[in-house]
Amino acid sequence: MATYSLPTGLVPTTQTFELITNTKTFQSPLSNAIQTVSRKGSYWKTSMTFANLSGEQRNDLKALLAKLNGQEHRLALRDFGHVNQGNYVTSNTPFLDQIGASNEIYLGNVTPNITDYLKAGDYVLVNGQYHVVTADATSQPSFRIKLFVAPPLRDTTTLSTTAYINNPSGTFIVTNNPQWRNQAPYFSSITIEAVEDVLA
């Protein structure tokens, strides 16, 4: 299994990007009381439309979809409408240093004493899982930073792995059979639907 990226410079014309949570609600038939249970297994889902492609861009995307061979291989994707707003420094290579509660992680080897190193809404990739930061975070003098993220970390056993914070991409599985919509003379549009690979 290989993971491929979109051709350089090609971004979707429109994109939906959503977090599918594994939360269930139960309502008592006697009292109508509602109980909510949250389990692990949340994942990201996206739908991307590439409109009015022509020439090399169209050919490159067609070739990429052929290489994916349906769901045999994976696609590196992100929320293309977002640019991280934090004041992080890219010269350092952060790593997962400690795991707190299910939605709390600590990264090491970050530049210290930077206010809003990552801001709420920014993305981070840890242990191959795509997370959104849920609260502004300032780096500590100890070269560490505490982050609150969603969804909760699935793999809580692996430390010291690199954490990617510069607009990272998650690993996705294409779930539809993308079809070309052609219009004369040489323009095509295509929609790609994909879900995060929770075992990546």
Query: What average pLDDT does this structure show over 47-59?
Result: 90
Higher pLDDT, 198 or 171: 171
* pLDDT band, very low/low/confident/very high, at 76 (cuts 50, 70, 90): very high
pLDDT at residue 157 above 80?
A: no
Q: Is 188 helix (H, G, I), strand (E, B) or coil?
A: strand
* Start-to-end CA span in the chain (Å): 10
CATH 3.30.200 maps onto the chain at 3-78+170-196
Q: Rounded CA gap, 115 and 140, in Å?
A: 9
Q: Specify the pLDDT at position 21.
A: 87
Where residue 41 falls among pLDDT bands split at 50, 70, 90? confident
Average pLDDT value over all residues in the chain: 90
β 34-38/23-27 pair status: antiparallel
Quick one: tokens of 132? 């959104």
Average pLDDT over residues 4-20: 93
Asked if residue 17 has pLDDT above 90, the reply is yes
* Ranges in the chain annotated CATH 2.40.10: 83-168
Nearest CA to 7 among 192, 200, 199?
192
Query: What pLDDT, in 10s, does the model give residues 112-129?
Result: 999 999 999 999 999 889
Taking 70 as the threshold, does the pLDDT of residue 200 lie above it?
no
What CATH class does 83-168 carry? Answer: mainly beta
Average pLDDT on 159-188 reads 88
User: Within a 10 A sphere around the Cβ of 54, how many other Cβ atoms?
Assistant: 11
- Please say whether the structural domain 3-78+170-196 has been given the CATH code 3.30.200: yes
What pairs with residue 43 in β-bridges?
20
Mean of the pLDDT values across residues 32-59? 87
